[in-house]
């Protein structure tokens, strides 16, 4: 039995139907695949993205904001979507386990991830969040609430926030205890709620943790054997979308770094997944990182997906 951290993207959950019912249906399909994986004897800890979900929540808040109904801060919004997606996954997995006769508990926990207040991203925020504004609306928002707004792909102006590197999972002892008890745990949703430690007290900050980097940190924290990053393609590619595109199967972290250096992976999609995978496998020669689609989760022994591992 291997201990696996499975990272499920927020975009994979919100495919086309943004309704509560639509997202639950997607989660139920994912849960069936994960349950089949557990049925093979694999131990699983789950984390997930929340980018589109927290974006929608910010839009909803903006549409209903008033003096008596003020918007919640970003760290609270991350916690809210972490809770809702965790609930969907927990319920779907519990039901899938019942139908398959799997006697294993499932739990989701609200997870804080500590970041460094001196992380360079706080000085130069680049992560766009929330609604689009006109230039005039953006200027007014800056005057009212501060922050930084940038033009985004000709569609208007959006607020940008820091995306610092995750340093420590605050609830790590609880997670390690759950792993030891073989509890399927859903945690670090949306990369975890970003917090800093000031004089021994944790407090939330306006930032967004990258889900893939937090997944690598989670895998290292619990001593996982494999980090499985599920995305929209069966493998990662070099020269993607070009006539000479090539799917990568088994590569070393050194080879992956060369592909990164050559610019094969887009910054907003595959690049953080590859960098997180490299970060995880470099720490231990026994560890594997696999990037593939959820449809291939139960075919890993057949050579599907891209495996990144040190040469033994």
Longest dimension (CA), the chain: 61
How many CB atoms neighbour CB 236 within 10 A?
Answer: 26
Of 54, 247, 297, whose CA–CA distance to 159 is shortest?
54
Measured between alpha carbons, how far is 102 from 96 in angstroms, rounded to an integer? 8
Nearest Cα to Cα of residue 13 among 184, 190, 187, 271:
190
Catalytic residues: 10-11, 127, 211, 273
DSSP string covering 64-125: H--SSSPPPPHHHHHHHHHHHHHHHHHHHHHHHHHHHT----EEE---EEEE-TT-HHHHS-
Instruction: Give dist(CA 3, CA 198) in Å, integer.
Output: 34
User: What b/e readout covers 281-306, taking b as 16+ CB neighbours within 10 angstroms?
Assistant: bbeeeebbbbbbbbebbbebeeebbb
Q: CA 158, CA 61: separation in Å to the nearest integer?
A: 15
């Amino acid at each position: 039995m291997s201990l696996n951290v499975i990272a499920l993207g927020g975009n994979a959950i919100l495919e086309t139907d943004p309704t509560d019912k639509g997202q639950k249906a997607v989660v139920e399909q994912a849960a069936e695949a994960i349950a089949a994986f557990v049925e093979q004897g694999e131990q699983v800890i789950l984390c997930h993205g929340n980018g589109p979900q927290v974006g929608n929540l910010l839009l909803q808040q903006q549409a209903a904001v008033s003096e008596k109904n003020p918007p919640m801060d970003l760290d609270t919004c991350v916690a809210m979507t972490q809770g809702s997606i965790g609930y969907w996954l927990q319920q779907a997995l519990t039901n899938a386990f019942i139908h398959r006769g799997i006697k294993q508990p499932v739990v989701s926990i609200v997870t804080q991830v500590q970041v460094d207040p001196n992380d360079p991203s706080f000085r130069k925020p680049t992560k766009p969040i929330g609604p689009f504004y006109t230039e005039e609306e953006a200027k007014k928002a800056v005057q009212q609430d501060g922050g930084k707004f940038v033009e985004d792909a000709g569609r208007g102006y959006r607020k940008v926030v820091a995306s610092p590197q995750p340093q420590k999972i605050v609830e790590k002892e609880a997670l390690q205890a759950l792993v030891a008890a073989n509890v399927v745990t859903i945690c670090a949703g949306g990369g975890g709620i970003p917090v800093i430690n000031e004089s021994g007290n944790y407090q939330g900050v306006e930032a967004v943790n990258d889900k893939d980097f937090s997944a690598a940190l989670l895998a290292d924290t619990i001593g996982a054997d494999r980090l499985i990053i599920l995305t929209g393609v069966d493998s990662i590619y070099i020269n993607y979308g070009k006539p000479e595109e090539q799917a990568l199967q088994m590569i070393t972290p050194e080879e992956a770094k060369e592909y990164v250096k050559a610019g094969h992976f887009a910054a907003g999609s595959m690049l953080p997944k590859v960098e997180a995978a490299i970060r995880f496998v470099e720490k231990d020669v026994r560890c594997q990182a696999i990037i593939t689609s959820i449809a291939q989760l139960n075919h890993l022994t057949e050579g599907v997906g891209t495996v990144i591992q040190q040469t033994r």
